Each structure stands twice: as C-alpha cells, then as structure tokens.
C-alpha cells in the first residue's frame, strides 16, 4: 500500500512535466515577482541601469546568474542587455540540476514553460533531434519539476528579445569532461544541421563562488573570470581545482554551473565564437541587506563571433 501511494504521488508530481504539457513556474513569487506588472517593471529597471559598451561581433552565447532577482537580477541584466532588440529563433539554455542527480543530460520535452509574462514554447523538433543525437541525453521529468535555473532566465528573454522564440531547456548534474564533451558534440552536430538559417543563442545559467566570506569570494571569482576570459575549458577546470584545494573557508564551488559553462564555451567556439566580454560582476554581499560573512558570486558575460579577441 505504501509503495502504491508513493507511485501515485510520483505520477501526480510529474504530470505537469510530461510531453505535451506546460511546465508551471516553480520560482515565481520566490525568486522573482509573480505579478506580471511588477515583474516587468523590475526587469526594465535592471536593464535601464545596465550599460553595455565595447562589445564587438555577433552574440553566440551568454553566461547569466540564476539567483533570486533581488540578489542577481541587476547583474543578469547586463548579459541580457547585450542582446536587447535582437531576434533568435531558438535559445538553448543549459543549467545545473539543483534537485536531482542523473547521468548525461535531461532535456525538457514538454510543450512549454509558463512564466508570469506568458508561455515560452519548447522547440520539440530540436529537442527530439538532440535526444536522437546523444545516447546519454533524455527527458527526466522529475529533474525539471522544481528546478529554477532555467526558469529565472525566461522573463529576461521575454522582455529583451524581438519577436517570438522557442527554447531548448537542458539540465546537467554530471560535469565530468566526458559528459560535457558528449553534450557539446551533440549540440554542435544539431546546430550545424539546422536548416533555413535558424538563429540560435546559447545560455549557460550559473552563479559563481558559493558561501565564502566577501573578500575571499571576490578573490576567487576574479581568478575564475580570468579563466573564463581564455575560453579554454581546461584552464577553467584547472582554476576550479586550484581554488577548491586552496583552503578558502566555506568555498563550495567556483561555478555552480561549471558543466553548463564549459559546454556552452566549447559549443560556441566550434560555432565560430572567438571573444568573450565579462560585462558585470557582483556578489550577494553587494546588495544593501546582503550578509558579507557568506556570499554567492554572480557574473554576466557575452560570447561573440567575428569580434576578435577580448
């Protein structure tokens, strides 16, 4: 009887994340306002204060944080400001799974994601092709149920992009070099095979250092930013190993989305990206009510092609 109850509960939990279903927001009212007008006003306020200058070339990818908007929204706005007014047919968003562990990657195969600003459709054609291309890529509904890291990027996209767009939402929990390379290879093959000149943007959803004191976070995050600027996945991994073994108190990670960042960088480079611009850095200790004893870092960056080296 207990197992039957568990099975029925699991079915109920995953019903909203099955193919053909709209995923309801899990973070509205917590990570960002649930009221559409309030949400729109907050995002527009962030964008108004974000000044992006000196970016050359065509944006291929973004790195954006995924914390609550009161902490990271002002930083995220810099990444999205870099694509304001542009149009993309598809946005592939890769983020770290905070609630489930699984091999490979989980790509959402439902109809769309709902936010207070409306429904963003999933490109089921691309999702299906991606699953066919990658043996370790599948749809695990439970992984997407409560996950916020993709959802929080959507209201920004709904605000800054011109015209309609679809998304390919991907979650990872295995950040090993092998898994990252497999996912990147599948994405490159997918995107190089896209017909009709479809415009695609990649997004790595990631915060930076977790839980060190303010000054330690700034130092660790600066080193990570310098590694990201090389666009070299091995340099980024090397920095990650170095920082985590350096004895910094309470340092849990350098990039909570290390895998997504590495996959996006590797994929973007194979699609012609040659430059990266880190547009903004701050951490949770920079907000008026932030606790500087333990902070989380945030970075906004845009990766471009045709702009030369940063």
Sheet of 105-107: strand order equals 137-138, 105-107, 166-172, 90-96, 200-205, 58-64, 297-305, 275-283
Residue entry with tokens 């130092």 = 219
In a domain? residue 52: yes
Q: Is 223 inside a domain boundary?
A: yes
Whole-angstrom Cα distance, residue 159 to residue 43?
8
Distances (CA, A) of 214 to 209, 253, 287, 296: 10, 14, 12, 9
Q: What is the pLDDT of residue 308?
A: 66
Query: So what's the pLDDT on residue 113?
Result: 98
pLDDT score at 194: 80
Mind listing the pLDDT tens digit for each residue in 127-147?
A: 999 999 988 999 999 999 999
Evaluate whether residue 120 is within a structural domain. yes
Number of domains in the chain: 1
Over 50: is that where the pLDDT of 3 sits?
A: no
Asked whether residue 271 is domain-assigned, the answer is: yes
Q: Is residue 7 part of a domain?
A: no
Domain assignment of residue 194, yes or no: yes
Average pLDDT of every residue of the chain: 93
3-class SS at 58?
strand
Q: Is the pLDDT of residue 183 over 90?
A: yes
Q: What is the spatial distance between Cα 276 and Cα 173, in angstroms, rounded to a whole number?
A: 25
H-type alpha helices, 50-176: 69-81, 124-133, 141-145, 154-160
- Lookup: tokens for 67: 């914390």
Structure tokens at 71: 């902490």
What confidence tier does 10 reach under pLDDT thresholds 50, 70, 90?
very low
* pLDDT tens per residue across span 27-78: 999 999 999 999 999 999 999 999 999 999 999 999 999 999 999 999 999 9
pLDDT at 13 over 60: no
CATH number of the domain residue 257 falls in: 3.40.830.10
What b-and-e string marks burial along 62-100, b requiring 16 or more CB atoms within 10 Å of the CB?
A: bbbbbbbbbbbbbbbbbbbbbbeeeebbbbbbbbbbeee
Q: How confident is residue 256, by pLDDT bands cut at 50, 70 and 90? A: very high
Cα torsion at 279, 284, 286, 287 (round to 10°)? 110
| Per-residue pLDDT at 20 | 62
The whole domain housing 88 covers 32-305
Is 2 within a domain?
A: no
Domain contains 126: yes
> pLDDT (tens digit, 9 = 90+) per residue, 151-174?
999 999 999 999 999 999 999 999
The percent of residues in the chain predicted with pLDDT above 90, rounded, is 88
The Cα–Cα gap between 295 and 211 comes to 5
């Amino acid at each position: 009887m207990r197992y039957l109850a568990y099975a029925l509960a699991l079915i109920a939990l995953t019903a909203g994340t099955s193919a053909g279903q709209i995923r309801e927001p899990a973070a509205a009212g917590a990570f960002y306002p649930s009221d559409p007008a309030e949400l729109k006003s907050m995002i527009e306020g962030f964008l108004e204060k974000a000044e992006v200058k000196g970016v050359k070339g065509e944006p291929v990818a973004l790195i954006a944080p995924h914390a609550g908007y009161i902490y990271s929204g002002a930083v995220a706005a810099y990444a999205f400001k870099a694509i304001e007014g542009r149009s993309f047919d598809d946005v592939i968003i890769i983020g770290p799974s905070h609630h489930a562990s699984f091999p490979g990657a989980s790509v959402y195969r439902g109809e769309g994601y709902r936010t207070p600003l409306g429904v963003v459709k999933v490109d089921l054609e691309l999702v299906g092709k991606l699953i066919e291309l990658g043996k370790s890529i599948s749809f695990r509904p439970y992984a997407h149920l409560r996950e916020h890291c993709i959802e929080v990027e959507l209201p920004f996209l709904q605000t800054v992009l011109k015209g309609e767009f679809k998304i390919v939402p991907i979650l990872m929990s295995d950040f090993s070099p092998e898994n990252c390379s497999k996912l990147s290879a599948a994405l490159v093959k997918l995107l190089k095979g896209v017909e009709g000149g479809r415009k695609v943007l990649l997004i790595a959803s990631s915060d930076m250092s977790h839980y060190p004191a303010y000054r330690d976070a700034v130092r660790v995050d600066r080193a990570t930013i310098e590694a990201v600027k090389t666009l070299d996945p091995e340099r980024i991994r090397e920095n990650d190993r170095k920082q985590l073994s350096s004895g910094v108190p309470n340092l849990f990670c350098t990039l909570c989305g290390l895998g997504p960042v590495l996959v996006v960088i590797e994929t973007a480079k194979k699609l012609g990206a040659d430059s990266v611009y880190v547009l903004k850095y701050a951490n949770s200790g920079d907000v008026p009510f932030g606790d500087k004893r333990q902070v989380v870092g945030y970075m906004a960056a845009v990766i471009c092609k045709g702009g030369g080296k940063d």
